[in-house]
Structure 1
Amino acid sequence: MILDKLTKVVGINIVRHRSYFAAILVALGCGVAPVGVAAVNAQALVPHAIKLNFGNLEEQGIALARDAAQLAQFEQYDLALPRARLAVQLAPQAYQTQAVLGSLYLRKEDYAKAIASLSTAHNLKKDNPAILFSLGSAHLRKGDYPKAIEKIKQGLVIAPKEPTAIFDLGNAYYMSKRYDEAVVEFARVYEIEKKFWAATNNIGLVEYERGNPDKAVKQWEKAIEQAAVAEDKAAEPKLALAVAFYTKGDRDKGIKAAIEALKIDPRYGKEDFLKENLWQDKLMADTRSMFQNPALKDSLNQSELSTKRAPTRQSP
């Protein structure tokens, strides 16, 4: 799991996005819009016509950046992005405007532009951990794992107990095949935030990849228990367990668990989606084998239909 993706569908992922934007909003001198407000109401945060007073452009740029960040909390990116771009034009030397624009590019999966804007923001404000964490996230998704590790660790010097940043650090180590270090970071996440079941799930990914399926099973079972406490059905560890059971020879148990997982979130029937969530070679090969079983045909067909109907997943 990489935690990248829509609030209600992927659950815990939005925590990171909201926390980073929250830090930027605090820097902008405004509060965070309350969770649960309808997205349509977010449009009321910004007037339809933007009137500029050329007497104080920087102040207006920061105000626009504030509006854009608040809109982004409600995934109103088409409204937020033009305001963030204008904010940077009005106040290019304000780190807040650059940070908001970079964070929006990151959500839109335009990693090169995200890194450029966030790097500018960091040069303007060296001690802001949210900017460093966002930079690390952008490098992670771009596939530059050494740079992701570097930026996240810099941020953790300033804010050492940010669980989502530590989770990203664990993912960067995992993708670099630095498995021992990855497990240490994922364990740290759980120590800080007991409901952060994705970290336990990813320890299972690590163990399976380095040839310890029994250890992986224990981690995925633990992740499901943690998710239940967080009132999350957790499709990913359930499907991973299904693959492990199936591969060990308990095919009926594996198929049953796989069907349950795909009912929770049919996107996990798509190989591309699994890869986005950091499923690597061993687990992917065993998943492909299980998916060949005719008993899963109907569930995988439903997965195909559901993913065609699903909205585009937004990056952090």
Structure 2
Amino acid sequence: MPKKVCLISFLVACSLWSMPRAAQAQALIPHVLQLNTAQLEKQGLSLAQEAAQLVQFQQFELALPRARLATQLAPNNDKVWLLLGSLHLQNKDYKAAIAALNQSQTLNPQNPDVLFALGSANFQQKNYQAALLNYQAGLKLKPNDPEGLFDLGNAYLVLDKFPEAIAQFNQAIAQNKKFWPAINNIGLIKYEQGDIPGAIQKWQEAVAIDNKAAEPLLALAVALYVKGDKQKGLEMRDSALRIDQRYADLDFLKQNLWGTRLLSDTEKFLQVKR
């Protein structure tokens, strides 16, 4: 009997020891680390700068985690959120891109670059009407931006509003005489409208500005071949595909807004052997 009582007492004592004792716990005051908000923001901006430098060298996978951390350290900086949104856009993560860009716009509604980036995100998801509104809003803040004018022209183009598209492309060219993508896309519209000589003229202008641009060179090759200058067309085709083999892919051409008529003629043209 005495041993049994001692054992019970021991077990009770152990259970009491294992239970939390409020009176003693209150005596322990945890040490709270005092964070310097300004210093954290400074580190966040430094990370954002590193990410931007990595983007210049096409190191997007290394840039993304830095930009993501930068938004946590400097959450009130709209440019950091714009950088993160642009990187998500580069990775085709459109949902994350739009969320980051919306946050940037909330912090600074007057930044046209955010609106242009939102337009790009919507355009790539084929939300063309939303993209058009984004581009228009961006151009209200930055009316003479050639790339913004070009993007708005593309939105009109895919919505089959050809006169409006050409007007925007011409405005882009007025701001930058060497902006050959806008000249090239006027050629795309003219070809769809059946104005092959007009398309040829535009593509010749584009090639004259940049003879290493594969797109207008291949489009010009197709048009010359269809018009009857077959040998020159084939020579240009080979030159264009040596510059960029992707233009032999009809899906890639469709992504670059080539129309139905031009795609049909290009498909036949690419099958011709010299």
- Superimposed CA distance per residue, residues 119-178 of structure 1 (whole angstroms, 9 cap, x where no aligned partner): 111121100111111111221222111111111111111111111111111111111111
Distance 2:238 2:158 in 1: 28
Name the aligned partner's letter for residue 278 of structure 1. Answer: L
Match in the other structure for 1:200: 183
Match in the other structure for 1:40: none
Match in the other structure for 2:3: none
Tell me, yes or no, if structure 1 residue 280 matches structure 2 residue 259.
yes
Q: CA deviation at 1:106?
A: 1.3
**Once superposed, what is the RMSD of the aligned Cα atoms?**
1.7
> Partner of 2:101: helix, strand, or coil?
helix
Match in the other structure for 1:55: 36
Distance 1:206 1:140 in 2: 19
Distance 1:141 1:133 in 2: 12
Distance 1:286 1:269 in 2: 13
Q: How does 1:1-316 map to 2 (within 5 A)?
A: 54-56=35-37, 57-227=40-210, 232-295=211-274
Contact 1:194 1:226 in 2 (8 A): no
Distance 1:92 1:149 in 2: 29
Name the aligned partner's letter for residue 53 of structure 2. Answer: Q
Gap runs ≥5 in structure 2 = 1-33
Distance 2:60 2:214 in 1: 27
- Superimposed CA distance per residue, residues 6-33 of structure 1 (whole angstroms, 9 cap, x where no aligned partner): xxxxxxxxxxxxxxxxxxxxxxxxxxxx
Q: CA deviation at 1:182?
A: 0.6
Distance 1:136 1:88 in 2: 22
Quick check: 110-119 or 122-131, which moved more?
Answer: 110-119
Contact 1:68 1:83 in 2 (8 A): yes
Contact 1:242 1:255 in 2 (8 A): yes
- Superimposed CA distance per residue, residues 209-259 of structure 1 (whole angstroms, 9 cap, x where no aligned partner): 2222221111111111222xxxx4222111101111222333222212211
The structure showing larger relative contact order (alpha-carbon pairs under 8 Å, at least 6 residues apart) is 1
TM-score by length of 2: 0.82
Distance 1:264 1:103 in 2: 28
Distance 1:220 1:293 in 2: 21
Runs of 4+ more than 3 Å apart: none
Distance 1:113 1:217 in 2: 41
Distance 2:67 2:225 in 1: 49
Name the aligned partner's letter for residue 54 of structure 1. Answer: L
Name the aligned partner's letter for residue 129 of structure 2. Answer: P
Distance 1:175 1:91 in 2: 38
Distance 1:153 1:64 in 2: 32
How many aligned residue pairs are there?
A: 239
Name the aligned partner's letter for residue 54 of structure 2. Answer: L
Q: CA deviation at 1:185?
A: 0.8
